[in-house]
Amino acid sequence: MARFRSLRWRLTFLYLGLLSVLLLAGSVAQYFAAREVLFRTNAEALSSEYAADLLAFRRQIGTTARPAAALRALMLSAQFAKELASGHTSAAIFDANGGLVTSANAGISPDQPPPTLYTTDYLNAIRSKPKAYYLAAASDGSTHLAVLNVVRVGSKPVGVVQLSIPTAVIDQTLQADRQLAIVGSLIVLLVAVLLSPLIIGRALRPLEQMSSTAGALAAGDYKQRVSVPRSQDEIGKLAVAFNQMAAGIDQAFEVRRQSEEQMRHFVADASHELRTPLTSIAGYIDVLRRREVVDPETLQASLAAMQQESARMTRLVNDLLTLTRFESGRAPSRQPVVLDQFVGQALDELSLRDKGALESRDLQPGVTVRADPEALKQVVTNLAQNALKYAPGAQQHWSVFQADGRAAIRLQDTGPGISRQDLPHIFERFYRGEKARDRSTGGSGLGLAIAKSIVEAHQGTIEASSEPGQGATFTAWLPLAA
Ligand code: ADP
């Protein structure tokens, strides 16, 4: 039973129901229209029959002039009624007051009284024009089609002649018509019953496919799609929209998968970086505990090493906090910063010359950006410290300038540069260049990632270029203050 509750069957039943009602209504309308046409043609035939009979009767009674009263009597006589009746046609003659004068029943039962209408019908026919036809009931309950003709002597109406035939004669013709309509309708219905489930089922097949595909999507198979029917109807559009939705879901899950993957990497890398100093501290503690007597020098050396490791851990944790703060997407609190003054001051504070760098400056005055000074200082510091680490003793040329409607802070060093393999990755979190990896003094690989996250939080970009052996150039581009 549940099967018949499906859309396919509901549409089929609806369609068949509608078709049956339409066929029935069409047949009924057609039957009544045909009946009306038959009534009218039979009525016309009766009228012509009357006209012919009247002419014949006039000829029969002769052309000699007669007084009006005699003529009237002849026109209302049983002789005239007999002349008019023939075959199925019965005749009845009424006087000018609508009273029956005489009748002739040539039809099936000659003794039966003729079918009559209401007296008013006869009076109305005399007063105005008779209607095209009337339906009269006979005493046996049968219906008769009747036409009325007013009889005049001179111009004076003297009575009404009624010619009638039983409608049963007409109904016989209609019966065949009715049977044909019923058989035709049944054939049409049968064909519809056989074909409509197939046609509707075919039209709805994409919907069934969509439902099974939706099931597959829900089960996690995001690559499933439905085949789009060629017709661009509602179902075709639905299939297109369905596939777009499936692609959207697939994409969203792909993005989630990627970000989860990145997060896993990040956590693994961070844990790995933290484990090194922790293992080291645990090692020193272990050594100290195992010794019964610790000489003050060893103790001092161990404590200093542990302090160094803990400082490294603190730096790492601070770097991680900075990174998450700027990557969270929260806008930094900004204020106008005049770059030449700002970078000049930051470089003074870093006193790079004291740390062995050959520092030079070319700071274009008045280039202003809107930035968080604390964060911007970190960018300058990270770049400077990298140059100190990876290009020790080399020249560091700092410049501030304005180009293409943007502000730039640039550092060019004359160090060893960055290898081609490293260059595309140096801004990644925890990425350390080949040389930096085996170097104990190397950082954690977060310095440039932090600089990038800060610059991007200010709607800027940061880039690096380098020819190995020719030094490296880092440029931070920032939007100018309006
Ligand atoms: P780290 O904390 O290791 O310094 P960074 O993210 O600051 O990490 O830098 C990533 C890598 O980029 C470094 O390991 C190094 O190989 C390379 N690098 C950065 N700055 C320079 C530079 N001025 N010259 C050469 N290599 C550099």
Query: What residue owns the CA closest to ligand 1's atom 16?
Result: 433
Burial of 330 (0-12, 13-18, 19+ CB in 10 A): exposed
With 60 as the cut, is the pLDDT of residue 439 above it? Answer: no
Cβ atoms of 158 and 73 within 8 Å: the answer is no
426 CA distance to ligand 1 centroid (A)?
Answer: 6
Cβ atoms of 109 and 135 within 8 Å: the answer is no
pLDDT at 346 (0 to 100):
96
Atom from ligand 1 closest to the CA of residue 427: 6
CA angle 460, 461, 463 (to 5 degrees): 155
Q: Dump strand ranges (E) for 266-425.
A: 335-338, 358-363, 368-371, 395-403, 406-413
432 CA distance to ligand 1 centroid (A)?
Answer: 6
- 85-138 per-position pLDDT tens digit: 888 899 999 999 999 999 888 655 667 788 889 999 999 999 998 999 999 988
Mean of the per-residue pLDDT values of the chain: 90
Sketch the domain layout of the chain as residue ranges: 7-173, 216-327, 331-479
pLDDT at 232 (0 to 100):
78
Our answer on whether the CB atom of 413 is closer than 6 Å to any ligand 1 atom is: yes
304 CA distance to ligand 1 centroid (A)?
Answer: 27
Average pLDDT over residues 213-236: 87
- 306-356 per-position pLDDT tens digit: 999 999 999 999 999 999 888 887 888 999 999 999 999 999 999 999 999
Rounded to whole angstroms, the maximal C-alpha distance in the chain is: 175
Our answer on whether the CB atom of 148 is closer than 6 Å to any ligand 1 atom is: no
State how far the Cα of 313 lies from the Cα of 315, in Å rounded to an integer.
Answer: 5
Query: What residue owns the CA closest to ligand 1's atom 4?
Result: 443
Average pLDDT over residues 421-443: 80
Our answer on whether the CB atom of 451 is closer than 6 Å to any ligand 1 atom is: no
CATH architecture of 331-479: 2-Layer Sandwich (3.30)
pLDDT at 257 (0 to 100):
92
342 CA distance to ligand 1 centroid (A)?
Answer: 24
State how far the Cα of 459 lies from the Cα of 357, in Å rounded to an integer.
Answer: 31
pLDDT at 438 (0 to 100):
58
Where residue 2 falls among pLDDT bands split at 50, 70, 90?
low
pLDDT at 328 (0 to 100):
82
Q: Which residues pair with 164 in a beta bridge?
A: 90, 146
- Return the CATH fold of 7-173: Beta-Lactamase (3.30.450)
CATH, domain 216-327, list 1.10.287.130, 1.10.600.10, 3.40.50.720, 3.30.470.20: 1.10.287.130
With 60 as the cut, is the pLDDT of residue 146 above it? Answer: yes
pLDDT at 109 (0 to 100):
62
pLDDT at 126 (0 to 100):
92
Higher local confidence (pLDDT), 473 or 179: 473
With 70 as the cut, is the pLDDT of residue 3 above it? Answer: no
Percent of the chain topping pLDDT 70 = 96
pLDDT at 106 (0 to 100):
63
pLDDT at 108 (0 to 100):
52
- 61-96 per-position pLDDT tens digit: 876 777 888 888 888 888 899 889 888 899 999 999
Atom from ligand 1 closest to the CA of residue 443: 2
Going by their DSSP bridges, the two strands 156-166 and 90-95 should be labelled as: antiparallel
